[in-house]
Structure 1
Amino acid sequence: MTVPNTPAGSTPGPDPYAPVFPPQPPARAERPPLGPELRIGAVVTAAGAVLGVVLGLLWLWLAPRVGYAVQDNHILYRDPEGEELIGAVGVFSLLGLGLGVLTSLGAFLWTRARGGGIAVAVGLAAGGLLGSVIAWQLGTHLGATPDLRAHALSVGNGGTFDGPLELTAKGALMVWPMTAMIVLLFLSAAFGKREPDRPPYWATPGPAAPGQGPPLDKG
């Protein structure tokens, strides 16, 4: 209805008797079920364990060996100043670095659309560490025997042989999981799904002003 004595063509202001309803709280987002996240974490961990076998075989193939020579019933180094032990640790670390990048990238691309939550990070860390331990044990057991005396007797005086594969710096076991976590953090920050920003507090309707209430009976 038009208020009396209102000039023609003017727009009436807000009705002071219009009802004012308090703002409704936003609906709480339901937490996704835990089962799919656990399955994703288990798959990522299992993939790390399988790739640990690949890492062990590559390490066994690419890592340098300490050479020995048998002279007058003595076992001597072929190269006393050789750096084969450091080289073996370096090869293991570089291979772990590469697998850390690959597993993190693969897990991110696989779970970006479906979501994986914290299970992806836990799976990468656990799978990387488990894969590194498997690679270390596999490489040392498939390599030459650690019994140097038995190996020297088998080659005889004047013979040479390669020593066992060793990982003298156990900190190399952490290269794979740490690399995977760092790469996952970068990918999530740069290319992860963004949640819609909440409106600022001043954009939400506030409580009713004092004196405003339900409409009065104007009859």
Structure 2
Amino acid sequence: MTVPNTPAGGSPGPDPFAPPFPPQPSDRAKRPPIGPELRIGAIITLVGAVLGVVLGLLWLWLAPRVGYAVQDDHILYRDPEGEELIGAVGVFSLLGLGLGLLTSLGAFLWTRARGGGVAVAVGLAVGGLLGSVIAWQLGTRLGATSDLRAHALSVGNGGTFDGPLELTAKGALMVWPMTAMILLLALSATFGKREPDRPPYWETPGPVPPPADRA
């Protein structure tokens, strides 16, 4: 007795109800584990925090100070038309720009072989912002005191002193993370790892029917 619709002396043909294409592996099976991603993001964030200390010390060393003079018990600017406050913001922004380029390039080269990932971008953004905040707080706390009256009393009438380091434009805190994100996007689009495109569905081979037995 033969199976219906089966040639006599032959093997059954292809199942008419079988899917026309072989099953493809699901996206869940291709998804990489989340542990390495979190570890990479944490390392990049930690590097940003450490470099924030370097940025704060460089800013404290390179940024100009507002000068004051004590005359007749009054605290006056040594240079009424000085641009020290703007210069301090400019130095902070330039240092943040350089660190943004450095951290983005380093993170891209480190993770290029594995194809980058969301953790790299998040780590650069969070690490850059955290490093900028650390640098801002470190530079202002290690600089001169913000109590101008106490400083004026210590130097006396006719004396001069430098004021505290200030970051009057808080938007400078975003220079580092924004630079890192923009450069990472450009590097990924130009030199990032490319995955081969899937062939169109009409080129996907279907199931090969078994050869029929010849009499």
Contact 2:22 2:207 in 1 (8 A): no
Q: How does 1:12-31 map to 2 (within 5 A)?
A: 19=13, 22-28=20-26, 29-31=29-31
Q: CA deviation at 1:198?
A: 1.2
Paired with 1:123 and 1:64, the residues of 2 have a C-alpha distance of 31
Taking structure 1 as the reference length, the TM-score comes to: 0.84
The 1:201/1:114 distance shift into structure 2, 3 A limit, reads: closer
Q: How does 1:108-127 map to 2 (within 5 A)?
A: 108-127=108-127
Name the larger-Rg structure: 1
Q: Which amino acid aligns with 2:25?
A: A
Q: CA deviation at 1:31?
A: 1.3
4+ aligned runs moved over 6 Å, structure 1: 213-218
Alignment partner, residue 149 of structure 1: 149
Alignment partner, residue 40 of structure 1: 40
Contact 2:49 2:130 in 1 (8 A): yes
Point out where structure 2 has 5 or more consecutive residues left out of the alignment.
1-10
Percentage of pairs with the same residue: 84
Point out where structure 1 has 5 or more consecutive residues left out of the alignment.
1-16
The 1:43/1:214 distance shift into structure 2, 3 A limit, reads: closer
Q: Which amino acid aligns with 1:188?
A: S
Alignment partner, residue 79 of structure 2: 79
Q: CA deviation at 1:217?
A: 8.1
Listed one character per residue, the Cα deviations across residues 131-173 of structure 1 (whole Å, up to 9, x for unaligned) are 0000000000000000000110111111110000000000100
Q: Which amino acid aligns with 2:53?
A: V
Q: CA deviation at 1:20?
A: 5.2
Matched, 1:190 2:190: yes
Q: Which amino acid aligns with 1:35?
A: G
Moved more, 113-122 or 192-201: 113-122
Q: CA deviation at 1:27?
A: 2.3
Alignment partner, residue 100 of structure 2: 100
| SS in structure 2 of the partner of residue 133 of structure 1 | helix
Q: Which amino acid aligns with 2:24?
A: P
Alignment partner, residue 3 of structure 2: none
Paired with 1:19 and 1:177, the residues of 2 have a C-alpha distance of 62
Q: Which amino acid aligns with 2:172?
A: A
Alignment partner, residue 10 of structure 1: none
Contact 2:96 2:176 in 1 (8 A): yes
Taking structure 2 as the reference length, the TM-score comes to: 0.85
Q: How does 1:121-136 map to 2 (within 5 A)?
A: 121-136=121-136
| SS in structure 2 of the partner of residue 70 of structure 1 | strand
Contact 1:18 1:215 in 2 (8 A): no
Q: CA deviation at 1:42?
A: 0.3
Listed one character per residue, the Cα deviations across residues 17-43 of structure 1 (whole Å, up to 9, x for unaligned) are 995573202223521111011000000
Q: Which amino acid aligns with 2:21?
A: P
Q: CA deviation at 1:185?
A: 0.4
Paired with 1:51 and 1:217, the residues of 2 have a C-alpha distance of 74
